[in-house]
Amino acid sequence: MPDELFDLKAGYVTLKNPIALAPMGGITDSNFANEYASDAGLVILGGYNLDERTQQAASEMLARGREEFICKEPFKLIEKEIRAVEPGTAVAVNVRSSTIEPLLMAAEIVKDAGAILELDAHCRQEEMTSIGTGEALLHDIPALSELIRMIKGTGAVLSVKVRGNVVDDIRLAKEIESAGADILHLDAMKKGEGADLELIREVRDSTCMFLICNNSVTDFGAAKDMFSRGADMVSVARGVLKDPGLISQLVSNVKMLQEDMGWYNAPKHICRGEGDLRGLAFCCLPVKQCPVRGKIRELGLTAQEFADLKMDFAKGTMLEYGDSTCFGSLVWCCKISRPCFLRDGVLETLGISDAEYMRLKKELADHILEHARSGKQTKADR
C-alpha cells in the first residue's frame, strides 16, 4: 500500500518513503533487505553480474576477499529475488554487464515485476573497470548514454548509479538525463570524511531527475543535510552493517519531519549560499543586492519576471495574504524553521498549519522551476 504521507514516484514505481537500502555486492539480497530494510521506501538488490566477463571479474574479486554474488543463472536469480522481497517496498536491481543484451534481458524482467533496473556505473574495482564496466562507464559518456537509450527502449524504469567527483558531474547528470534515465543515484563521495553536500546542491540544480544520494549516512542529521540540498531520497549501505536498526530509525524520523513540516526535503535559504534553486520559494521581493540576483539570472529570468512568477502563483492561494509581513504577502516569506512572529501571526489568522504553508511553498518552488526552465509565460505576461 502506498504511504500517502509522501508523494514519491519514479515512472510506474511508487515509493512509500524517501529512505533506501543501497546495493552491496554479495550482501544485499532479499534476505538482507527483509531483515534490515522492510520499512524502506526502496531496496536495491545486487549488484548482479549478468555476463561471463563480469562473472569472471566477480570471481576474481571474491578470490581476493571481497564479497560478491556469484551465480551462473543471474536472470532466474533476479526474478526469484524480486519476488522474495516483502510486498510494500519498491525494489531495484543493481547490475553490471560488459555487453548490452544481458542488460536488456534484465530490464524486461524488472519491468514485468514492476521494479527498477539500476545500471552500476560506480564500481571502481580494477577487475570491473578493466572490462569497461562500473566506473569505467563514467569515462565514456557517449557509450553510457547509448546504453541508457537502449535500456529505456524496453520501458523499464532506469536508475544510473554514479560516483561523484570522478568526472564533470554536471555534464554527466545532464547527459544521463537527456539519454532518458529516470533516476540518478549519486554516491556523493569526496576526499576525506563525509559526503559532498555542495555537489548534491549543484547536481540538484542541473537536473530534474529523481535524485537518490548517499555516502556516510549513519544518522538522521546526515540524511537531512542531503535532503536540504535537494536529494529526493537518501540511501544507506555501510551504515546498515554497523547499525541494523538504522533504516527503521531514518524512516521514522523522516515521517515525523514530513508530518510536522510538510516538505521533508525543503531547501535551505539562498542567502547562506547553501540553498538550491528551490530556495527561491523563500526569497524576498528582489529589491536588494543579495544572492537572489545570481539565482534569478541562472534561471534566465529578470527580477520583474521572477516577481511576476511568484505573484502569479500566489493568486487564489493562501500565500496571497499577509499585509503585515515584510513584503505584503506570504509568497515572499521565509521557511517555517526561521522564527517570525509576523508570518506566524498571519498563518494563525488564516488557520494554516506550518505543514500546509510549507506544502504551498513546495508547489511554488515547482512552479518557478517548471516555468523558468520551459520558458513559459506567466499570466501577467499574457
Ligand X SMILES: Cc1cc2nc3c(=O)[nH]c(=O)nc-3n(C[C@H](O)[C@H](O)[C@H](O)COP(=O)(O)O)c2cc1C
Question: What x/- string results for residues 111 through 150 when contact with ligand X is judged by CB under 6 A?
Answer: ---------x-xx---------------------------
**Restricting to residues 163-222, which ones interact with ligand SF4 according to CB under 6 A?**
none
Which uninterrupted H or E stretch holds 144?
helix 141-152
Residue from 309, 312, 278, 293 nearest 372 by CA: 309
Sign of the Cα pseudo-torsion (359, 365, 371, 373, in order): negative
Q: With respect to ligand X, which residue has the nearer C-beta, 24 or 277?
A: 24
**Restricting to residues 256-275, which ones interact with ligand SF4 according to CB under 6 A?**
269-271
Min CB(355)–ligand SF4 separation in Å: 16
Site size with ligand SF4, rule: CB under 6 A: 17
User: Taking CB within 5 to 8 Å according to partner kind, which of ligand SF4, ligand X, none is near residue 41?
Assistant: none
User: Taking CB within 5 to 8 Å according to partner kind, which of ligand X, ligand SF4, none is near residue 269?
Assistant: ligand SF4
Write the single-letter amino acid at 310.
K
Does the protein bind ligand X through residue 233 (CB under 6 A)? Answer: no
Does the protein bind ligand X through residue 214 (CB under 6 A)? Answer: yes
Q: How far apart are CA 360 and CA 335, in angstroms?
A: 11
Residue from 18, 46, 87, 29 nearest 235 by CA: 18
Min CB(291)–ligand SF4 separation in Å: 4
Does the protein bind ligand SF4 through residue 283 (CB under 6 A)? Answer: yes
Residues making up the chain, counted from first to last: 382
User: Taking CB within 5 to 8 Å according to partner kind, which of ligand SF4, ligand X, none is near residue 46?
Assistant: ligand X
Tally of CA atoms within 13 A in the half-sphere of 171 that contains its CB: 10
**Restricting to residues 301-330, which ones interact with ligand SF4 according to CB under 6 A?**
325-326
Does the protein bind ligand SF4 through residue 348 (CB under 6 A)? Answer: no
Residue ranges with strand state E in the chain? 8-10, 13-15, 19-21, 42-49, 90-96, 116-121, 157-163, 183-187, 210-214, 233-236
Taking the CB of residue 115, how many other CB atoms lie within 10 A of it?
26
Q: How far apart are CA 58 and CA 96, in angstroms?
A: 10
Does the protein bind ligand X through residue 238 (CB under 6 A)? Answer: yes
The site for ligand SF4 (CB under 6 A) is made up of: 269-271, 282-284, 290-292, 325-326, 332-334, 340, 342-343
